[in-house]
């Protein structure tokens, strides 16, 4: 994909051909923009929380300070109703998260159906905990993780986080 600098250069060229080329380039750039849900992650891959194929809805913090997390980053929110979605092709998906003192309960939906509520509370921080959802059938699926208004009575907050997803393929 040409850089924005190339597009600017094309605009300043004084020829009619340059104007036509610039208009075509702008149209190509505009038509290549994706909308939420356009990303489809193929099977057998690890998807970090900062990957652009993950869609965040609501206020999420993307934090790069945690050396014990995958790629030293996690994304988290404590606002009930906020969610994260990933559309993928495969037969299983693993949700990787952190358990800690300030964690709430995460609601997990796959293809619109709730499959689990996971209590992320732990008195001791536990990095890269995993919950796998398998036997989904080799197909396109969407996983959604939602922040709920529920937590363990010992938890100090409602935080739900995403460290990464692992897509499995039966192929």
Phi and psi at residue 70, to the nearest 5°? -65, 125
Sequence ranges of the domains in the chain:
1-33, 45-168
| CATH node for 45-168 | 2.60.120.260
The per-residue b/e assignment along 87-97, b for 16 or more CB within 10 angstroms, e otherwise, is bbbbbbbbbbb
Indicate the pTM of the whole model: 0.76
Tokens in use for 52?
């652009």
Per-residue pLDDT of the chain (171 residues; tens, 9 = 90+): 444 433 333 333 344 444 333 333 333 333 333 333 445 566 569 999 999 999 999 999 999 999 999 999 999 999 999 999 999 999 999 999 999 999 999 999 999 999 999 999 999 999 999 999 999 999 999 999 999 999 999 999 999 999 999 999 876
């Amino acid at each position: 994909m040409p850089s924005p600098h190339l597009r600017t250069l094309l605009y300043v060229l004084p020829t009619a051909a340059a104007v036509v080329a610039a208009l075509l380039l702008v149209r190509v750039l505009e038509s290549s923009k994706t909308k939420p849900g356009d990303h489809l992650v193929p099977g057998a891959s690890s998807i970090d929380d900062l990957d652009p194929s993950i869609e965040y809805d609501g206020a999420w913090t993307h934090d790069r300070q945690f050396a014990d997390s995958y790629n030293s980053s996690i994304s988290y929110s404590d606002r009930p109703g906020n969610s994260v979605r990933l559309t993928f092709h495969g037969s299983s998906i693993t949700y990787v998260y952190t358990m800690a003192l300030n964690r709430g309960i995460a609601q997990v939906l796959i293809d619109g159906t709730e499959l689990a509520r996971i209590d992320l509370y732990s008195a001791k921080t536990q990095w890269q905990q995993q919950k796998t959802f398998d036997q989904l059938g080799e197909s396109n699926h969407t996983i959604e993780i939602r922040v709920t208004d529920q937590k363990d009575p010992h938890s100090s907050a409602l935080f739900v986080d995403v460290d990464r997803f692992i897509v499995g393929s039966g192929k």
